[in-house]
Structure 1
Amino acid sequence: MLRVEEQQPVDFSSALLAKFDEIVKRYPEGKQKSALLPILHEVQAEQGWLSTSAMNRVADYLDIQDIEVYEVASFYTMYFLKPQGKYMLEVCRTGPCCLVGAEKL
C-alpha cells in the first residue's frame, strides 16, 4: 500500500523537463494526462524509483490531481514505490515459462 507522506522536495533536471515537454507534445492539447505513463518511466529511469515528492511534481507538471498519479503508479508493477537494490530480477511465471523451468529459479 502506498503511504502518502511528504518527503524532501524533488527537483527534476532540465534535461528531464525537456523530455517531459517532448512527451506532452505527442498528445492533443488538453490531453496531457495521456503522457503520465511515459513521464513516470522517465522519472524512474533518472531516480531509480518514484518517491511521493516526485509523483507530486509530476502531478503539478501535468496539472492533474496527486491521487491520479498515485493510482497509476501503484497499479502497475513496473513502477517502484520504494528504493530498489542495485540489481532487479524478475522471473516470468506464465505457463510457457514454467514449462521450461522458471519455477526452479
Structure 2
Amino acid sequence: IAFMRAGRIIETASPQALYAAPQTPEGAGIFPSCQTLAGAVKNGLLHTAAGAFPAKDLSDGPGVAVLRDGALTAVRDDAGAFRAVDARFAGPGWIVLL
C-alpha cells in the first residue's frame, strides 16, 4: 500500500505493518473509526487536551495523534481533570464524551 500527499509518496507498507506501526496520519487513517487529536510536541512528548503521549523521534512543534478504536483505556481520575458527560455502549466498547 502506498500513500501520497501533494503528489509525493509519503509511506509504503504492507497492511500488517500499517496496522502495527503507521508512520503517517494517512497510513493510520486507513482503518475505520480513527480520530485525530491535535497538540504540540515538546521534548519527546505530544501534549494534547487529553494529556501527553510519547512522541519518539519527532521534532518539537505541532503534532497530531491518530487514535483508533481500542487505543485508549479509561481509568478513574481522582484529581478530576476530566469529567464524562455522556457514555454509550457501542458494540465491543463504549463511546465516552469528556
TM over 0.5: no
Higher RCO structure (Cα 8 Å, ≥6 apart): 1
| Bigger share in helix | 1
| Bigger share in strand | 2
